[in-house]
Amino acid sequence: MNVNAIGEFVGAFLILIGSIMSVISAFGLIRLPDVYTRSHAATKSSTLAVLLTLLGAFVYFWTTAHFISVRLLLGIVFVFLTAPVAGHLLVRSAYRSKVKLADISGTDDLREVLRKEEKEQ
């Protein structure tokens, strides 16, 4: 096994682990009870999945074609920056538009703050 074969194998293995992470996040998306718990599955593990996949593609092109792809690195940085921001904004707007929590969730600490804010307006 020379360096090219090892690099190919490492890239394909990273891509495989990334897709397995993506399936795990999809199971979280279908099994969890409300939008706030679903956002954990949809933002955190999905971001990890796509980062592993892009890193695998980067390693593959680096070792087989000796091509350091700046576009893949920019894609990694961009996904890593924007996916948590998008998830945070979406859950914030869901909470402020009063989507219900699941029945098994115990406390809701922000409800008093939101009620006071509405009373002031």
Residues that bind other proteins (CB under 8 A): 8-9, 11-13, 15-16, 18-20, 22-23, 25-27, 29-30, 35, 38-39, 42-43, 46-47, 49-50, 53-54, 56-57, 60-61, 64-65, 67, 69, 71-72, 74-75, 78-79, 82-83, 85-87, 89-94, 96-97, 99
Residue 9 Cβ, how far from other proteins at the closest point, in Å? 7
| CB-nearer residue toward other proteins: 70 or 107 | 70
Comparing C-alpha atoms, which of 86, 103, 82, 83 is closest to residue 37?
Answer: 103
Residue 6 Cβ, how far from other proteins at the closest point, in Å? 12
Q: Which residue has the tokens 């690099």?
A: 7
| CB-nearer residue toward other proteins: 64 or 111 | 64
The values of phi and psi at residue 101, to 5°, are -75, 165
How many Cα atoms occupy the beta-carbon half-sphere of 3 within 13 Å? 7
d(CA 23, CA 18): 9
| CB-nearer residue toward other proteins: 4 or 111 | 4
Long-range contacts of 96-103 (CB under 8 A, 24+ apart): 99/34, 99/35, 100/34, 101/34, 101/36, 102/33, 102/34, 102/36, 102/37, 103/33
Residue 63 Cβ, how far from other proteins at the closest point, in Å? 12
